[in-house]
Structure 1
């Protein structure tokens, strides 16, 4: 059984929207695009590279796919991620796209939940959900996420799309590894582990 792994950059207040640049995603009037670069450091890059070593596919929502597809096919080949991003199989969940031009991309047919269940049962390594907040929330609601790999950066935005938005399913998380970089970014890997327990002091 393959693992579905949500890999996401977050602000301290849980925002995942547009970490990469001012024009990445301005939906709902978001004005803080590009918040990640100045809140990151070399240790973050090393951790992310390690997270990708154990995966052999990506699962993307439409918006993240379009952002990546507009950049990576012509990205600097000296960037060690360029070959990785272009050669990795990519599965795309979309109700509006009818064809995909980025190499090694496959459009998921039919119901996305059933399509992801089928992917989990196929042969292969981990499948990373990168960005794609709406898709990640759909997968969470249907108990399809096996692991979270989060970089939590020391910046507060106050608005924007959140990974754990209103309506998130209450879930207890088991820490796999948690560390902090010199720049203050938390590198956290968690696995769902049942429901929260409630008690009082």
Structure 2
């Protein structure tokens, strides 16, 4: 059975974006690429997105297939990002979302249960916050792989919203990176 892994980066004070929805990527390095995106894409066999993050990533990565001058074309794992099957959770999208994706509406627990049965390998969700919080609230996430970046935003959009259930976790790994970020990898403790 496949595992669902929530893989996102956050500021030290818990924000995944700056005020007004401004995307705030972490400082990049070969070390970060190897232990963050490289690690995930070696294991991922399916990706989960919310609508906004899906459209952002589709616009960025799909250009690698058609425009050799695009920023994505110069990234070694662009082909993997474009090839992997994806599921998009959205209440507003209709039709074929493209980019090797299937649209899921309604029952996220049922959709994730089906994917866990069908997919051989790990299922990664790279966000955004809406789908992440929905999956956490339903206690569907098997592992949390978070990169905490060395910055304080002060405000913006938080990764975890108030009101979610208490969830016990077991540390798998804490990996400091040369950028000052730290990857924290936890497994959902279902023993209780």
Q: Same-fold call, TM > 0.5?
A: yes
Q: Structure 2 CA distance, aligned partners of 1:110 and 1:181?
A: 39
What's the CA shift for 1:136?
A: 1.2
Partner residue in 2 for 1:12: 12
Contact 2:91 2:105 in 1 (8 A): no
What's the CA shift for 1:59?
A: 0.5
Contact 2:133 2:159 in 1 (8 A): yes
Note if 1:45 corresponds to 2:33: yes
Q: Which runs of 5+ in 1 are unaligned?
A: 19-29, 197-201
Partner residue in 2 for 1:73: 62
Q: Which TM-score applies when normalising by structure 1?
A: 0.83
Contact 1:36 1:153 in 2 (8 A): no
CA RMSD of aligned residues (A): 2.0
User: Deviation per CA, 1:124-148, whole angstroms, max 9, x where unpaired?
Assistant: 1111000221111111111110001
Question: Going by fraction, where is helix more abundant, 1 or 2?
Answer: 2
Q: How does 1:19-98 map to 2 (within 5 A)?
A: 30-31=19-20, 33-37=22-26, 39-48=27-36, 49-75=38-64, 76-98=72-94
Q: Which TM-score applies when normalising by structure 2?
A: 0.87
Question: Going by fraction, where is strand more abundant, 1 or 2?
Answer: 2
What's the CA shift for 1:34?
A: 4.3
Partner residue in 2 for 1:151: 147
Query: Which of 185, 189, 192 is the matching residue for 2:185?
Result: 189
Structure 1 runs (4+) deviating above 3 angstroms are: none
What's the CA shift for 1:102?
A: 2.9
Contact 2:97 2:103 in 1 (8 A): no
Q: Tell me the number of residue pairs that the alignment of Structure 1 and Structure 2 aligns.
A: 184
Contact 2:32 2:178 in 1 (8 A): no
Q: Which runs of 5+ in 2 are unaligned?
A: 65-71
